[in-house]
Amino acid sequence: MEPLTEQRNVTGPLVFGFLHLVRVSHARQLALTTAITEYCRRHELTLAGVYTERCSATPSAFIGMLDALTATRSYGVVLPTPSHLGPKAIADERRSQLTEAGAHLLLIRGKQTVPPGGASPNLAAGGTE
């Protein structure tokens, strides 16, 4: 008889973390990265990496993450809060780009959004159905 899934080394859906940090200490960055890592562990997600953007004027971290998402056909992006998509002026565009890429937006805290395909917002929040 085969062992149960819980007894096997099974990987969860592949996700990336994203942090938009302006004038934030290294300790705060470390705490937020740890929060993303712990969220992924609790929800059985495979964290492929955390992209950190320190300036909205040079969005290379977001572009790199978007490229990685599409190249690996990842499940989605984990953010501590919606504000980590950047200032309001660019956050809506980034949300649209993630939706177009088919990525789910997973928030550790904050108002949840419906993931691509209209799946349950509870799953996007890391909850259960």
Q: What's 101's domain CATH number?
A: 3.40.50.1390
pTM, two decimals, is: 0.78
Q: How far is Cα 101 from Cα 84, in angstroms, rounded to an integer?
A: 18
Look at residue 23 and tell me if it is in a domain.
yes
The answer to whether position 44 is within a domain reads: yes
Is 96 contained in some domain? yes
Q: What is the DSSP string of 57-107?
A: T-THHHHHHHHHHHHHT--EEEESSGGGG-SHHHHHHHHHHHHHTT-EEEE
Domain extent, residue 111, equals: 11-124
Q: Is residue 3 part of a domain?
A: no
**pLDDT tens, residue by residue, 5-61:** 556 666 789 999 999 998 899 999 999 999 999 999 999 999 999 999 988 677 899
Look at the chain and count its residues: 129
Domain assignment present for residue 106? The answer is yes
Into how many domains does the chain fold? 1
Choose between 115 and 32: higher pLDDT.
Answer: 32
